[in-house]
Amino acid sequence: MLDAAGITEWVRNAKAGDMAVYARGETISRPVAELARRFHEQGLVDLTRRRDGGGWQFLIQRRSATYRAGRQVRRVHPRSSAENAILRMIRDAIRLKQPCPTNAEFAEGAGLSGAIAASYRLRKLVRDGKVELVDHGPFERRVAVLVGTDKRTVRAPL
pLDDT tens column, 87-126: 999 999 898 888 999 998 888 888 888 899 999 999 999 9
Low-confidence ranges of the chain (pLDDT < 50): 71-79
Report the relative pairing of strands 55-62 and 131-134 from DSSP bridges.
unpaired
> For residues 152 and 134, what is the distance between their CA atoms, to the nearest angstrom?
10
- The pTM assigned to this predicted structure is 0.53
pLDDT at 3 (0 to 100): 80
pLDDT at 90 (0 to 100): 95
Report the relative pairing of strands 143-146 and 55-62 from DSSP bridges.
unpaired
pLDDT at 12 (0 to 100): 85
Please tell me whether the peptide bond between 101 and the residue prior to it is cis, using omega within 30 degrees of 0: no
pLDDT at 103 (0 to 100): 92
pLDDT at 67 (0 to 100): 61
pLDDT at 72 (0 to 100): 47
Residues whose CB is less than 8 angstroms from the CB of residue 41 and which lie 6 or more positions away in sequence, other chains included: 73, 74
pLDDT at 112 (0 to 100): 85
**50 to each of 2, 60, 61, 89, 129, how far by Cα in Å?**
17, 11, 13, 33, 48
Three-state SS at 112: coil
pLDDT at 33 (0 to 100): 87
Q: Is 53 left (phi over 0), alpha (psi -120 to 50) or beta?
A: left
Q: Which domains does the chain have, with CATH numbers?
A: 4-62 (3.30.1370), 79-146 (1.10.10.10)
**Contact in structure between 141 and 100 (CB atoms under 8 Å):** yes
**3 to each of 10, 29, 48, 72, 148, how far by Cα in Å?**
10, 9, 17, 19, 28
pLDDT at 158 (0 to 100): 81
The number of C-alpha atoms within 13 Å of 33 and in the hemisphere containing its C-beta is 7
pLDDT at 131 (0 to 100): 96
pLDDT at 8 (0 to 100): 84
